A = this chain, B = another copy of it.
C-alpha cells in the first residue's frame, strides 16, 4: 500500500530541506502532502515561496505514516509554537507512525514530547532547546520512530533514510542512483 507523509510548511522554512524531502519521497512513490500553516503560499527562509498542496487544518485528520518537519528559522519556531503541529505529531506517533525533523526543527518534536530519552541530532546549537536523550553529531539519526538530521547539507541523506524506512533499501538505492547522489555514510541507528 502506498505510504503517506505530511510535511507542514511554516513561513521561514528552509527550502533545500523541505524540497529535498518532498521531491525524493515522491520519486520513491510515497504520497507526500504539503500542508501550509495558513492558506496561500508558504514563505521560505531564503525568499522561495511554495504553494502547499493543502492547509494544516485540512491535513490534521489525514492518514499518515510519517510527519516530516523541515528546519529553517523562524519556520521551526512556528512549527514548535503551533498546537495543531503538536497534535498532528502526537496523533501520528500514537498510531505507530514516524516523527521526523531536520536542522532546527527537532525542537518541535521535543515540544510534542516525542524526544524524551531518545538519541537525536539537530543543527549545531539547537540541542539545548528541547528535552532528549543522548545528543550526537551523526548526520542522520534513527531512534525507533523518531528520525532527526542536521541541516541543508544533510537533507538528501535524511530524505533517502526516510524513503528507505518507508519503502525499503532497494527503492531508496534506485532513487539515490537516479539523483546521482554521493554514497553517504549509513545513518546512526539506535
Does more than half of chain A's interface fall in helix, strand or loop, or is it mixed?
mixed
What copy number does this chain have within its complex?
Answer: 2
Q: CA–CA, A24 to B20, complex, Å?
A: 14
In the complex with contacts A49-B51, A51-B51, A176-B153 CB distance below 8 A: yes
Size category of the binding interface on chain A: 35 or more
Q: Mark A23-51 against chain B: 1 for CB-CB distance below 8 A, else 0.
A: 11011000010100000010010111111
Q: Which of A161-179 contact B (CB under 8 A)?
A: 176, 178-179
Given A48-B23, A51-B49, A180-B154 contact (CB < 8 Å): yes
Q: Would you mind naming 8 contact pairs between A and B with Cβ atoms under 8 Å apart?
A: A16-B20, A23-B44, A23-B46, A32-B47, A51-B51, A153-B176, A153-B181, A154-B180
